[in-house]
Amino acid sequence: MKPNIEHSFIHFVYSKARESETLDINNKRKSFVYRNGRYLLALPLSIIILLTLPTGYNNEFLQLGASVIAIFIGLFLTALVFALDKFYIPRKKKGKDYKLDLTENGQSRNVELSIDEILFENAQEKNWHKQSLYYVQKFNVLVGKSVLVGIWALALISINVLYFEFFRVDIADYTFVPITIPSILTFGKILFIIIVRFLICYYMIEVFYNTIRIISSMVNFMSVRIKR
């Protein structure tokens, strides 16, 4: 799957990231908990924080969150460059077949060998190479998605800081009233504030969750690679 006119870059990154959450390094389907770990963690926590902070986030927390997210974005970009430089070694030749003429006991015969059979001496090495390439693909899309999520979080935090007084309302003070134009406008305002607060919390938790995944998978991969 490659980015094209039908599939925008953002859609490509999100779809491939979801695929990496669904399939493991052997291209097998993960369990329900591993497939939906970020949802199971981020959704309940975001709802709990939203209900326990009816007046929203204070300015100090927003500034701290913006600083941490910016640091993580820099970490993700560094990890992406590191992955491309250290994890992936491109082949110098394309995977075309080679035809060799062998002479044995005075008889000549033609043998065809693939590039994989030349580069890897056994099936285990070939499988390790496929796993490495698949891991790098999963790693890259996960880091790319984490950068996008971090940017969304920074944008929402910036909006909240810029219009701090607008978002600094106690949603617990509002009750349902008869449907009128002012009440509809007020409902729309409160709904918008709730959505922004929820997304800020959700995106921040997802960034932390992805950071743990990225670091743990990188350490595990490098440990296996060093042993080999």
pLDDT at 5: 42
In this predicted structure, the answer to whether residue 182 has a pLDDT above a threshold of 90 is: no
Mean pLDDT of 206-215: 88
In this predicted structure, the answer to whether residue 185 has a pLDDT above a threshold of 50 is: yes
Domain ranges of the chain: 9-90+121-227
d(CA 14, CA 6) in angstroms, rounded, equals 14
Q: How many alpha carbons lie under 13 Å from residue 103 in its C-beta half-sphere?
A: 1
pLDDT at 195: 93
Q: What does pLDDT average to over the chain?
A: 77
Q: State how far the alpha carbon of 58 is from the alpha carbons of 42, 46, 63, 168, 193, in Å.
A: 20, 16, 9, 8, 14
pLDDT at 88: 53
In this predicted structure, the answer to whether residue 111 has a pLDDT above a threshold of 80 is: no
Tokens representing residue 164 in the block: 């701090």
Its pTM surpasses 0.85: no
Question: What does the pLDDT look like over 15-73, one tens digit per residue?
Answer: 888 887 887 777 778 888 888 888 899 999 999 999 899 888 998 999 999 999 989 88
Binned at pLDDT 50, 70 and 90, residue 127 comes out as low
Binned at pLDDT 50, 70 and 90, residue 3 comes out as very low
pLDDT at 154: 93
Return the percentage of the chain with pLDDT > 70, whole number.
72
In this predicted structure, the answer to whether residue 101 has a pLDDT above a threshold of 60 is: no
pLDDT at 104: 53
Q: How many residues appear in the chain?
A: 228
Mean pLDDT of 166-186: 77
In this predicted structure, the answer to whether residue 135 has a pLDDT above a threshold of 50 is: yes
Mean pLDDT of 128-136: 72
In this predicted structure, the answer to whether residue 86 has a pLDDT above a threshold of 70 is: no
